[in-house]
Amino acid sequence: MDSDVTIEGKSTDHKKAGFIYGCKKSGEKPTHVTITCKCNKKTKEVLFSINNKKAVAVAPKELIQCKKNTIRSTDLSMCTAEAANDVMESFNFSSKAYLFDEVIPMPMKAEVTASCNPKYVSEPPIGGVLLLECDGSPYIVNNVLTYWKPSLTSVADFDTFTC
C-alpha cells in the first residue's frame, strides 16, 4: 500500500472480510477500491478478490496506489441481483424476506426491493418493503462490505425490518 492510501472502512463479517480504500490527496482515487478475503474451508486456502474480481498475484507495493482521477464514471457492474441476494443473507434477512430479482437500472444507480410477504414474490407490495440501492461504490453496512445499501427512500426502516 502506498503511503497516501487510506483505509476508509473494513468489514467484520465472518463470512467475507474486506477493506475499502481511499486516498489522502483530493482528486486522487485508489487503483483498487475494495479487497475481500475468503477462506476455502476444504483446501484451507485464502482467496481474495479485488473490486469483486478474482485477484491475480501482484507484488505488494503494486497492490494499491493513488492516481489522479480525471474521469467521473458510474460502473454498475457490481449491482447484480446475485450480489443483492448475498447481502440480504449477510444482513440475516434471507430466511425471512423475499428479494425481487428484477434489478431496476437507472443512469446513476440500480434498485431492488425486498418484502416480507411471500404472497408478493412476483409483484412489489404497496407497503412494508425495504429498498436497496447500488451506485457502484462499496459501503460498510452493519459491518458487511457491500455495494448494496438501504435506500433513504425505503418504506421500511433498515434497522427495524423484520418479518
Tens digit of pLDDT for each residue in 98-123?
A: 777 678 888 888 888 887 766 665 66
Q: Is residue 145 part of a domain?
A: yes
In this structure, are 86 and 153 located in the same domain?
yes
Which of 31-40, 48-57, 73-82, 124-133 holds the top average pLDDT? 73-82
Task: Give the mean pLDDT of 58-63.
Answer: 51
C-alpha atoms less than 13 angstroms from C-alpha of 161 in its C-beta half-sphere:
28
Structural domain ending residue among the three candidates 14, 42, 68: 68
For residue 132, what is its C-alpha cell? Answer: 436497496
Q: How many domains does the chain have?
A: 2
In this structure, are 153 and 93 located in the same domain?
yes
Report helix, strand or coil for 119. helix
pLDDT at 58 over 70: no
pLDDT at 160 over 50: yes
Phi-psi region of 11 (alpha: psi -120 to 50; beta: other; left: phi over 0): beta
From CA 111, how far away is CA 102, in angstroms rounded? 9
C-alpha distance across the termini of the chain, in Å: 43
In this structure, are 96 and 155 located in the same domain?
yes
Q: Is residue 75 part of a domain?
A: no
Domain region containing 150: 81-160
Strands 28-30 and 149-150: unpaired
In this structure, are 99 and 151 located in the same domain?
yes
Task: Give the mean pLDDT of 45-53.
Answer: 68
Residue 30 identity:
P
Q: Is residue 151 part of a domain?
A: yes
In this structure, are 23 and 44 located in the same domain?
yes
In this structure, are 45 and 85 located in the same domain?
no
In this structure, are 85 and 156 located in the same domain?
yes
Task: Give the mean pLDDT of 51-61.
Answer: 58
In this structure, are 120 and 148 located in the same domain?
yes
